[in-house]
Amino acid sequence: MMKTEAVIEPKSTLQPRSVEGRFRNAKTAILVFAYAVFFLLPWLRWERAVGPDQAVLFDIPGRRYYIFDLVMHAQDIFWLTALLFLAAVLLFFVTTLFGRVFCGYFCFQTLWTDAFRFFEKFIQGDRVARLRLDKQPWNAEKILKKGLTHLSWLALALWTGISFALYWGDAFELTTAFFTGTAPSAMYGTAIILMSTTYLTAGWAKEHVCLHMCPYSRFQSVMFDQDTVIVSYDAKRGEGSTGRVKPIKDMRDQQARQSAGHGDCVDCGLCVQVCPTGVDIRKGLQIGCIHCALCIDACDGIMDKQGWERGLIRYTSEHGLEGKKTKVLKLRTVGYGLATLLATIYLVWSIGNSKLLEVTAVQIRSPLFVQLSDGRIQNSFEVKVNNKSMEAGRYQLVIDNFPGAELELGQFSDIQLKPDSSIRILAKIRYTVPPDDTQKNREFQFRLTPLEGKVKESVIIPSHFITP
C-alpha cells in the first residue's frame, strides 16, 4: 500500500553522505576558485587615469562598465549579447560532449548548495549523524546545531547578496554604508532579495531546484545522443547474469562471484547515498543526474577496497558501454563547436577593434539650410566627439571634398578632450552656390585628425550639404 505522504509530496530532506575522491576534489577546487573570484573581485583595486580604482565595476549612472583595462560604454552593450550567445552555444557544445557537467560543477545552485552542505556537515556531522539528529526530539543539542547551521547559511547568503551589490559601486564605501544604514535602498533591496533566494534555494529547496525548477534540466535531454559522455553504471559488469549481490560469505572473491554469475556491484548503496539529487545511477541515466560524478568517487572507493578494477561507474557514452567507439566528430558537435568558435572570435575581435575615438555628425534639420546676408547657404551640424581612451586628446576638425566651403566652429577649432570624456560642438558650413549649379545635395566628409592622444588615425564621417 502506498503511503499518503508518498502520494502527496516527493521525499524531501535528502542527506547525502560526503565522499572523497578525484571528482570531489575537482568540485571542491572549482568551488573555491569560483568563490574566490566572486567574493574577492570587488575588493581588487586597479589603477586608472580616470574613473574608479576598482578592477571590476559596473557604473550604471555613469554608463561605464569597468573590467580591468577594458572600459565599456553604453553603446558597447551589444557585447553583452555576443557574450550571452557565446555562453549559450558553449553550454550546448559542452552538453553534447559531456552531458550535464555544467550542472555538476559550475551551476550556482550546485555551488551554493555544496557550500551550504559543507557548513551543515561541519556543524552537524555527516549523513548518519544528521539523520539521527533529524529523528531526535527537539532538545538543546538539536536546537543548537540546527540553529547554528541556519545562522551560518543566512550569513553566507547575506554576504552573497552584499558581494553582488559591491560590483555596482565602490566596494569599501558600499560595505561601510550598508552597515551604517546609509547605503542606497537599491543595495538593501538587492542584498535582501539575493539573501532570501540564496537561503531558500540552497538551504531549503536544494535538489528540488535541479529536479523540478530548473528549465535547463528539461531541455538538455535533446542535446544528448549515444555518443555523449555521461556518468553511467556499467550494468553488464555490475550485474553479471544473475544480478548484483552483497559480498557475504563466499561472495567476497571476484572469481567466486563471477562463476556464480554475479557482477562486481556489491550493492553497498554508497553511490545512492552520496548523490546530491538522490539518483540511483544503477537504474540508468535519469533527468535528476547532474553529472557531478560523486557516485564515481564512491564506487571507485569500494572497488579499490575490494582490490578490483575501478570504473564500475564511469564517464562513458552509451556507445562506449556497448563496446563501440564513441564518435566525437558529428554534425551536432561540429556545429555547436563552430558556433562557439565563431562567437569567441567575433567577441575578441570586436573588443580588440573597438574604436577609442568615436565621432558622429548629426545635421540640424530645422531649418535644413539658412541663407546668409551675403547670399551664402549655411548648414549646421552637431558634432559629437567621444574620446574613449584613457589619455587626453587634442583634435582638429576639418571638411574634405568640399572646395569653396567654409567651416565655422565658434571658438573650438582645436578640440581638447580629457581622458574618457566627450564633447558636443556646433559646426556650421557656409557655401556659395555657383549660379549654374542646381544640385541640391552635396556629399562631403568631416575629418577629425588627432593632434595629441592615444588615437593616431583620423576619423572620417560622411555627410551631406543641402541647398535649396
Q: Which of 30, 88, 364, 407 binds other proteins (CB under 8 A)?
A: 364
Written as nine digits, the cell of 390 is 584613457
For residue 88, report the phi and psi dihedrals to the nearest 5 degrees: -65, -50
Site size toward other proteins (CB under 8 A) is 32
Site size toward ligand SF4 (CB under 6 A) is 29
Written as nine digits, the cell of 94 is 559542452
Interacting residues with other proteins between 403 and 442 (CB under 8 A)? 408, 410-412, 415, 423-426, 428, 430
Closest by CA position to 71, among listed 450, 420, 459, 423? 420
The reply to whether 270 sits near ligand SF4 by the rule CB under 6 A is yes
Written as nine digits, the cell of 445 is 566628409
Tell me the residue type at 47.
E
| Smallest distance from other proteins to CB 315, Å | 37
Q: Which of 61, 181, 307, 435 binds other proteins (CB under 8 A)?
A: 61
- 349 CA to centre of own chain: 20
Q: Which does 289 bind (CB under 5 to 8 A by kind): other proteins, ligand SF4, none?
A: ligand SF4
H or E element at residue 448: strand 441-452
Pairing, β 406-408 against β 421-431:
antiparallel
Using only C-alpha atoms, what is the Rg of the chain? 33
Count of other CB atoms within 10 angstroms of residue 14? 14
Interacting residues with ligand SF4 between 290 and 319 (CB under 6 A)? 290-295, 298-299, 302, 312-313
Q: Which residues pair with 427 in a beta bridge?
A: 381
Virtual CA dihedral for 175, 180, 181, 187, nearest 10 degrees?
0
The reply to whether 375 sits near other proteins by the rule CB under 8 A is yes
Pairing, β 421-431 against β 377-387:
antiparallel
Q: In terms of CB distance, is 145 or 314 closer to ligand SF4? A: 314
Q: Which does 165 bind (CB under 5 to 8 A by kind): other proteins, ligand SF4, none?
A: none
* Binding range to ligand SF4, per CB under 6 A, among 127-135, 259-267, 336-344, 420-428: 259-267
The reply to whether 111 sits near ligand SF4 by the rule CB under 6 A is no
Binding residues for ligand SF4, rule: CB under 6 A, are 231, 233, 238, 265-271, 274-277, 279, 281-282, 289-295, 298-299, 302, 312-313
Binding residues for other proteins, rule: CB under 8 A, are 1-4, 7-9, 61, 364-367, 370-375, 378, 380, 382, 408, 410-412, 415, 423-426, 428, 430
